[in-house]
Amino acid sequence: MNLLLRTDNNLSSLFLRLSLGIVVFPHGAQKVLGWYGGPGFYKTIEFFSTQLHFPVWLVLLLMLTEFLGSIGLVFGFLTRICALAIGTSMAVCAYLNHLKNGFFMNWFGTQQGEGFEYHILVVGISLALLIRGGGLLSIDKAMSGKK
């Protein structure tokens, strides 16, 4: 367990996990709570399972990842697990939905969908957190018992 929580007083990890957690949280809140114009819990499950043919357990895992994983990152709780889950979900999302649209986001409304540039950033930040841990002011740091 200590390997999972191990971290130092790295200020970079604090900024990375706060940034990623704050950016991913609204996506999870859309799916789970219906906030920010999102569909909410049941409609998210219905859409992903009927339109995209995902098994319900996988949809629940995605919702858990984006909602609780982002909160975990903000507080630095089980940072490596949260970062791995978020990075994996974004890589899968990019592969299934965004690679076909090219690199760039759809800034000018001239392409069929969004590109994968955002996803590269999320995966990169997730990998950095997976390697370094939660850093300064993280619950992981407090739980690991190191000063």
Secondary structure string (H, E, C) spanning the chain? CHHHHCCCCCHHHHHHHHHHHHHHHHHHHHHHHCHHHCCCHHHHHHHHHHHCCCCHHHHHHHHHHHHHHHHHHHHCCCHHHHHHHHHHHHHHHHHHHHHHHCCCCCCCCCCCCCCCHHHHHHHHHHHHHHHHCCCCCCHHHHHHCCC
Q: What is the pLDDT of residues 1-28, one digit of tens each?
A: 787 899 999 999 999 999 999 999 999 9
Q: What is the pLDDT of residues 87-138, one digit of tens each?
A: 999 999 999 989 888 888 888 888 888 889 999 999 999 999 999 999 999 9
